[in-house]
Structure 1
Amino acid sequence: MIEFNKKSNTLEQTQYRYALQDVAEPNLYREIYSYDEVPKCAFNHRRVPMNPADEIWITDTTFRDGQQSRAPYTVEQIVTLFDYLHRLGGPNGIIRQTEFFLYSDKDKEAVYKCMERGYQFPEITSWIRASKTDFELAKQMGMKETGFLVSCSDYHIFNKLKMTRRQAMDSYLSVIKEAISVGIKPRCHLEDITRADFYGFVVPFALELRKLMDESGVPIKLRACDTMGYGVSYPGAALPRSVGGIIYGLRHHAGFPSELIEWHGHNDFYKAVCNSSTAWLYGCSSVNCSLLGIGERTGNTPLEAMVFEYASLRGTTDGMDTTVITEIAEYYEKELDYEIPPRTPFVGRHFNVTQAGIHADGLLKDEEIYNIFNTGKLLNRPIGVAITQTSGLAGIALWANNYFRLSGDALIDKKDERVAVIKEWIDAQYQTGRNTSISDKEMLKVIRELAPSLIP
């Protein structure tokens, strides 16, 4: 049968409906995932079209997945971070939702405290066990939406749940119907989708969800979970690893609109950010992230990274206050005693700090030469310089200009004789075996002793 697709404005064949393949043995994709070897990336050279949604946004899992790999946050800390998320997301709610556990009394207290803030964004959602009791709890606490696992790979269905595909599907559908019956919008976490039989289970299951959604009138959200970080963004990559293929398939074959599709990525192979951006480009409205990328194993997609990916793809921050990212980083280090690797993009202490003399020389002339963007304006983090044996005269002059906040005619040039005096002291330090950078405190002390006139 051929029908006209109003979304693509083309005639398309629709005669094939993907049905559940209730296989006797699990399909573990052993040619790709042999376990004793690095996972292989296969290509079938089938390219699906990029089709970004009209609207894209960020959702947060700091208080759910982000709490599975660190000491639990206190209620006060959760509320403070929730405030930061609200400010960062801005009045347009680009950070649309954040999710909470509802297991313990502390979890519930944190939810109530955040609700008292009265923010429209981020919307508070929950993550619960797939049981009638927990659905009732979510409803009592005022949750409009809640998430739960609907594991979709045979690794989980056969080896963990000890079910067949038919049994798993029937079990999931019964739970989703329970959620709808108590007035909760389900968010189905398609766990381990990058090892799942996409046409043999994922699409048939999604089609059943689509039917249930049409019958009930209740929107059902699909969260495509790259649980092990296996997803790849390469054009022409084959399923089950193709991020573009997964999003295209959920939209085109299962008929889900972009606003009901969410990508949840992990960073096991350093691909979390790229895969999340790819999901946006191929039609997924929502990408799920955590602050600083803190999450299970190597972590989730860093939320702060997707703030800048959003601005890059859309050409605007749409009201987001990006300077809050620096406040969040400082809060983690000072209040939560969390050590951020210093060269972590956007949040590390040294992400825009140079140690190379040749770079410092360029920064002295024009900071755009070696700074990614105006970090002073967008992150309240002016460029910095760390003084080492390679900083040279330019590095010392740049340090002084930055530290003393000099501008215009007051700027110190690298040819200044006082800079040369300081450099002689620095060179002597490293000639006698020093192997650490020179702190701001040390620099200030030396300047006071050897070149006090540098101090304004």
Structure 2
Amino acid sequence: MAEQQTQEVIITDTTLRDGEQTAGVVFSQQERRQIACMLDEIGVQELECGIPAMGRAEQDSIRALVDLGLNARLMTWNRALISDIQDSLHCGVTAVDISLSLSDIHIEHKLKKSRKWVKEQLRTALSFAKRHQLYVSVGGEDSSRADMDFIIELLQIAEQEGADRFRYCDTLGILNPMTMFSQVQQLAESTNLDLEVHTHNDLGMATANAVAGIMAGARFASTTVNGLGERAGNAALEEVVMALKHSCALDPGIDASRFTELSRYVGQASSRPVSPWKAVVGERVFSHESGLHTDGVLKNPENYEGFNPSEVGLQRYLVLGKHSGRHGLEQRLLQLNCAIDPHEVNSLLTKVRDFSQTNKRALSDQDLLNLCAIH
């Protein structure tokens, strides 16, 4: 792997805000606290934890998180309205995201306003927030469909009014990594503000786009556990962290060894079970069946594993099925303390392959023991 780079990357997790906006997902108060604590314990630096303008119940939930005294900075999501920011102040948070729609299609067809109105709202809301000593991220909703000159104009206003960073949102998940890189690079050259990338997975590129944004100069990557979020979801925390570490030589300083534990908990709490083949944290993503691959892994795991499964709290599985080879079968027999004449292994392997093909599945340990008994 390439030598670790020195660029600082900060993970901001929005499982408790955008993640809970997944259709049908509701976390209990205890689940919200547990998720926040687990994210904090593994070193996630910032948690976007809710929308105070939703009402008293949401505000109480956010205050409960503030009372935990976490190391992570807690941030709330707000419209560019003073009333929203006042609700956040009452919750006791020290950081807010002030969101504005930036694309002309949103400004005209959602807000029924003008670009001039958006600029005025930004000045008013941002100046109010900074007067109250809040850390402010200016959230650019639908940035990926907005006019770049208009975004840069807003960045200049944000700098003048004391904003701390700008959130570039690919709200509809329509970008590809090359375009994301180009856009963020242009913004990075146009402002002194820290940049954040907030990506959605509608075309299956949320993680790739988040990584591209970081490589282009963004300092913050917005994520959710398991990629929860509106429609097809957001960039997955576990995928972004491991991609940055192993593909980009950038270490965000997150304890990945608890990723599987965290993923399972959020999967259960959200009633969205984690697929066994989910990238990075799926229970079976380190499974090997093919004879050539199994042989290679037995000789040296690095032959077919980009990182050690224990790094994310998983373990390796050697699967017996249609494509298995002799070495994989011998290893499984050894694990089961099942003695067999070496000259009979090839014959047993034929039965293993036939069983798998007939039953359209891999063999369990008991299946193998049964075959051995009648062999």
Tell me the TM-score range normalised by the shorter chain.
0.7 to 0.9
Q: Is 1:308 matched with 2:242?
A: yes
1:377-432: CA deviations, max 9, x gaps?
Answer: x123222122222223333234345x56xxxxx9x99983575575355345346x
Question: Residue 71 and residue 335 in structure 1: after superposition, are their counterparts in 2 closer, same or farther (change >3 A)?
Answer: closer
Question: Residue 71 and residue 390 in structure 1: after superposition, are their counterparts in 2 closer, same or farther (change >3 A)?
Answer: same
Aligned length: 368
8 Å contact from structure 2 (residues 9, 250) kept in 1: no
Q: Distance in 2 between matches of 1:265 and 1:278?
A: 11
What is residue 256 of structure 2 aligned with on the other side?
Answer: 322
Deviation at 1:438, TM superposition (A): 2.3
Amino acid at match of 1:362: G
Q: Distance in 2 between matches of 1:444 and 1:335?
A: 37
Q: Distance in 2 between matches of 1:336 and 1:197?
A: 36
Question: Residue 162 and residue 112 in structure 1: after superposition, are their counterparts in 2 closer, same or farther (change >3 A)?
Answer: closer
Q: Distance in 2 between matches of 1:159 and 1:136?
A: 27
Amino acid at match of 1:328: L
1:292-323: CA deviations, max 9, x gaps?
Answer: 11111111111111211332367474653211
What is residue 68 of structure 2 aligned with on the other side?
Answer: 117
Q: Distance in 1 between matches of 2:253 and 2:270?
A: 28
What is residue 244 of structure 1 aligned with on the other side?
Answer: 181
Q: Distance in 2 between matches of 1:243 and 1:183?
A: 32
More deviation, 65-74/286-295: 65-74
What is residue 20 of structure 2 aligned with on the other side?
Answer: 67
Q: Distance in 1 between matches of 2:299 and 2:34?
A: 40
Q: Distance in 2 between matches of 1:276 and 1:414?
A: 51
Q: Is 1:397 matched with 2:348?
A: no
8 Å contact from structure 2 (residues 184, 216) kept in 1: yes
The alignment yields a C-alpha RMSD, in angstroms, of 2.8
Question: Residue 366 and residue 183 in structure 1: after superposition, are their counterparts in 2 closer, same or farther (change >3 A)?
Answer: closer
Q: What is the percent sequence identity of the aligned residues?
A: 23
8 Å contact from structure 1 (residues 386, 437) kept in 2: yes
Q: Is 1:76 matched with 2:30?
A: yes
What is residue 331 of structure 1 aligned with on the other side?
Answer: 265
What is residue 165 of structure 2 aligned with on the other side?
Answer: 221
Q: Distance in 2 between matches of 1:426 and 1:420?
A: 10
What is residue 49 of structure 1 aligned with on the other side?
Answer: none
Q: Is 1:107 matched with 2:52?
A: no
Question: Residue 188 and residue 336 in structure 1: after superposition, are their counterparts in 2 closer, same or farther (change >3 A)?
Answer: closer
Q: Distance in 1 between matches of 2:331 and 2:244?
A: 32
Q: Is 1:261 matched with 2:195?
A: yes
Amino acid at match of 2:364: S
Q: Is 1:270 matched with 2:236?
A: no
Deviation at 1:82, TM superposition (A): 1.5
Amino acid at match of 1:135: I
8 Å contact from structure 1 (residues 87, 324) kept in 2: no
Q: Distance in 2 between matches of 1:374 and 1:322?
A: 11
Q: Distance in 1 between matches of 2:366 and 2:360?
A: 17
TM-score (norm 2): 0.87
1:331-354: CA deviations, max 9, x gaps?
Answer: 245565422222221111211102
Q: Residues 269-418 of structure 1: matches in 2 within 5 Å?
A: 269-312=203-246, 315=249, 317=251, 319-333=253-267, 336-376=270-310, 378-400=311-333, 416=342
Question: Residue 74 and residue 450 in structure 1: after superposition, are their counterparts in 2 closer, same or farther (change >3 A)?
Answer: farther
More deviation, 77-86/52-61: 52-61
Amino acid at match of 2:188: R
1:82-123: CA deviations, max 9, x gaps?
Answer: 22212222xxxxx22011222244433433333333221x21
Greater fraction helix: 2
Q: Distance in 1 between matches of 2:253 and 2:98?
A: 31
Q: Distance in 2 between matches of 1:76 and 1:426?
A: 47
Deviation at 1:231, TM superposition (A): 2.2
Question: Residue 221 and residue 245 in structure 1: after superposition, are their counterparts in 2 closer, same or farther (change >3 A)?
Answer: same
Question: Residue 209 and residue 339 in structure 1: after superposition, are their counterparts in 2 closer, same or farther (change >3 A)?
Answer: same
Larger Rg: 1
Amino acid at match of 1:114: L
Question: Residue 330 and residue 414 in structure 1: after superposition, are their counterparts in 2 closer, same or farther (change >3 A)?
Answer: farther
Q: Is 1:231 matched with 2:231?
A: no
Q: Distance in 2 between matches of 1:96 and 1:109?
A: 22
Question: Residue 139 and residue 338 in structure 1: after superposition, are their counterparts in 2 closer, same or farther (change >3 A)?
Answer: same
Structure 2 residue matching 1:273: 3-state secondary structure:
helix
Structure 2 residue matching 1:248: 3-state secondary structure:
helix
Amino acid at match of 2:167: R
Q: Distance in 1 between matches of 2:269 and 2:332?
A: 28
